[in-house]
Structure 1
Amino acid sequence: MILLCPPGVYRAQSDTQLLAGHLDRHVTGRNVLDLGTGTGALALTAARAGAASVTAVDLSWRCVAATRLNSLLHRTAATVHRGDLFEPLGGKRFGVIVANPPYVPSTGPVLPRHTAARSWDGGPDGRAVLDRICDGAADHLDPDGVLLLVHSEVCGPQATVDRLAAAGMVADVVDSARIPFGPVMRSRAGLLERRGLIAAGDRLEELVVVEARRG
């Protein structure tokens, strides 16, 4: 799928592709929410896979505009909101929630809001946004709803499973892929080594897909 990606908008990469491969099994006939939509890649994939409706959310106005434009170009219906994760949704629930959140460990706890780094900076341990999704997903899922999210092993897949369990969900790692570091991970390899998040000289990263259901 060819998508327009204006400057400052995260271009879909291997993590998005890995997660997209799991949508066909879950989204047909269901209302789908894409958190942190970026270019709208996952939202449009869900629509093409037969979702009953697609809602997309992003904090960035550029991403909102990109997703709306890509939806028009691909003749795909999607409702796009500008806002912080679940904030613009009120009490609405969904059959499927998908998310490729910012998860790269960053130098400090303050997350950027007005630069492209907001698409990947995840705080010191990479979990600043990821944990918020884990904590809030159950309140926005149908009783038989499914959460699908992707992140790097440096964030701790077991920490994600445990966090979801604490929020009343049953979660498992259902897929993984080992890929070379991209530009951002390469630029922070020294930082990750010093924090013990990767082994010295390791320049391969394992991506994981976590699937969770309400318990």
Structure 2
Amino acid sequence: MKLIALPGVYSPQDDTALLAGALHREVLPPGARVLDVGTGSGALAVAAALRGAEVTAVDISRTAVWTARLNARLARRRIRVLRGDLTAPVSGGTFDLVVSNPPYVPGPFDAPPRRGPARSWEAGRDGRLILDRICREVPRLLRPGGVFLLVHSALSGETPTLAGLRAAGLRAETLERAAVRFGPVLRSRQSWLCREGFVHPRDESEELVVIRAERTR
């Protein structure tokens, strides 16, 4: 279905589609409880709700919360959309599946902006400002047998993500890879990325990875 993205809210792109595909192929138990961390437009939350799951979505942006609620209504699905910082609004809860397409773009900033659309992608100088937090916080929300699906750029470090999730007691693997052409953000800072060693001057694409991590019984 078509989704609405209000001004300042991240519009579904290649990373969203890649993660949605992994979500579609994941086997869900009847009445599955699903959490979408950093929901943005609510695309992944809606995708899970369309499969009959009981869905909770979280975003720190008020506009994203409004957008996700609007898209849930357009899809005629009931989704609980909460405003808050990553997993804080659902602390103490447990889920069968957690999905996340967080900010992961490396950039020449020590901290992400406090407002505006760039908050959807800026992730500090190594691209892991949010990823490392997610790897620490999400495992405690998984039920036994629960699964975490995460998408991000390989520029931000595939190995640290796998290591962090495994250190938290999960069985983690890279589920999918896809090469996509640089978008406007990466093109605008390609010189900086080259200087920092993230890309080569002739690079025109990045690799996206979907990580699957499971809490074994």
Task: Give the TM-score taking structure 1 as reference length.
Answer: 0.97
Contact 1:27 1:46 (C-alpha < 8 Å) held by counterparts: no
Counterpart check, 1:168 vs 2:169:
yes
Report the equivalent of 2:122: 121
Contact 1:189 1:203 (C-alpha < 8 Å) held by counterparts: no
Distance in 2, matches of 1:49 and 1:14, equals 21
Q: CA deviation at 1:50?
A: 2.6
Contact 1:23 1:49 (C-alpha < 8 Å) held by counterparts: no
Give the superposed CA RMSD. Answer: 1.0
Per-residue displacement from partner, 1:141-199 (whole Å, max 9, x unpaired)? Answer: 10110000000010111111011111111111010110110111111111111111112
Q: How does 1:34-53 map to 2 (within 5 A)?
A: 34-51=36-53, 53=54
Q: How does 1:174-193 map to 2 (within 5 A)?
A: 174-193=175-194
Contact 2:147 2:215 (C-alpha < 8 Å) held by counterparts: yes
Distance in 2, matches of 1:201 and 1:194, equals 13
Report the equivalent of 1:143: 144
Structure 1 regions of 5+ residues with no counterpart? none
Question: How many percent identity over aligned positions?
Answer: 49
Distance in 2, matches of 1:131 and 1:22, equals 21
SS in 2 for 1:7: coil
Distance in 1, matches of 2:161 and 2:200, equals 21
Q: CA deviation at 1:74?
A: 1.1
SS in 1 for 2:22: coil
Q: How does 1:87-102 map to 2 (within 5 A)?
A: 87-102=88-103
Counterpart check, 1:32 vs 2:34:
yes
Report the equivalent of 2:195: 194
Runs of 4+ in structure 1 deviating by more than 2 angstroms, as ranges, are 26-29
Task: Give the TM-score taking structure 2 as reference length.
Answer: 0.96
Contact 2:111 2:123 (C-alpha < 8 Å) held by counterparts: no
Per-residue displacement from partner, 1:86-110 (whole Å, max 9, x unpaired)? Answer: 1111200100000000000021211
Whichever residue aligns with residue 5 of structure 1, its letter is: A
SS in 1 for 2:179: strand
Whichever residue aligns with residue 57 of structure 1, its letter is: V
SS in 2 for 1:22: helix
Q: CA deviation at 1:42?
A: 0.2
Report the equivalent of 1:72: 73
Contact 2:153 2:207 (C-alpha < 8 Å) held by counterparts: yes
Q: Report the number of matched residues.
A: 214
SS in 2 for 1:70: helix
Contact 1:146 1:212 (C-alpha < 8 Å) held by counterparts: yes
Distance in 2, matches of 1:37 and 1:134, equals 17
Per-residue displacement from partner, 1:111-163 (whole Å, max 9, x unpaired)? Answer: 11211100000111111101111111111010110000000010111111011
